[in-house]
Amino acid sequence: MKKDNKKVIYWLLTGCFLIFIMVIIGGITRLTDSGLSISNYKLITGTIPPIGDQEWQEAFDLYKQHPEFQAYNNHFNIEDFKSIYFWEWLHRVIGRSIGLVFIIPFIYFLIRKQLTKKTIKKCILLLVLGGFQGFLGWYMVKSGLIDVPDVSHYRLAAHLTTAFITFAATLWVALDLRYPNKKSIQIKFRNLIIWSYLILIIQIIYGAFIAGLKAGLVHNHWPLMNESKFMHHTVYVLEPFYKNLIENPSGIQFIHRTLAYIVVVFILIIWFKARKMSLTALQSKSINALLILVGLQFVLGVFTIIYAVPLWLGVAHQIAAFFLLSAMTFTLHRFSK
Averaged pLDDT, 83-99: 90
Q: Helix (H, G, I), strand (E, B), or coil: what is residue 188?
A: helix
| pLDDT one-digit tens code per residue, 164-221 | 999 999 999 999 999 887 777 889 999 999 999 999 999 999 999 999 999 999 999 9
Cα separation values, 38 from 21, 49, 287, 323, Å = 20, 10, 42, 30
pLDDT surpassing 70 at residue 1: no
pLDDT surpassing 80 at residue 64: yes
Averaged pLDDT, 144-167: 87
Averaged pLDDT, 60-77: 86
Which residues neighbour 314 within 8 Å (Cβ) at sequence distance 6 or greater? 27, 31, 211, 216, 304
Q: What was the pLDDT predicted at 283?
A: 92
Q: What was the pLDDT predicted at 228?
A: 92
Q: How confident is the model at residue 292 (pLDDT cuts 50, 70, 90)?
A: very high
Q: How far apart are the first and last CA of the chain?
A: 27
Is the pTM value of this prediction over 0.85? Answer: yes
**184 or 151: which leads in pLDDT:** 151
Averaged pLDDT, 127-141: 89
Nearest to 67 by CA among 150, 176, 170: 150
Nearest to 87 by CA among 30, 141, 159: 30
CA 169-25-287 angle, 5° bins: 45
Q: How far apart are CA 189 and CA 184, in angstroms?
A: 12
Q: Determine phi and psi for 270, rounding to 5 degrees.
A: -60, -45
pLDDT surpassing 60 at residue 282: yes
Q: What was the pLDDT predicted at 43?
A: 66
Count Cβ atoms below 10 Å from residue 101 Cβ, excluding itself.
Answer: 17
pLDDT surpassing 70 at residue 46: no
Averaged pLDDT, 40-50: 74
Average pLDDT over all residues of the chain = 91
Count Cβ atoms below 10 Å from residue 67 Cβ, excluding itself.
Answer: 15
Q: What was the pLDDT predicted at 53?
A: 86
| pLDDT one-digit tens code per residue, 4-16 | 678 999 999 999 9
Q: What was the pLDDT predicted at 12?
A: 95
- Scanning 143-179, the segments in alpha helix (DSSP H) are 153-178
| pLDDT one-digit tens code per residue, 92-126 | 999 999 999 999 999 999 998 888 999 999 999 99
Peptide bond into 240 cis (omega under 30): yes
Nearest to 325 by CA among 168, 113, 128, 157: 168
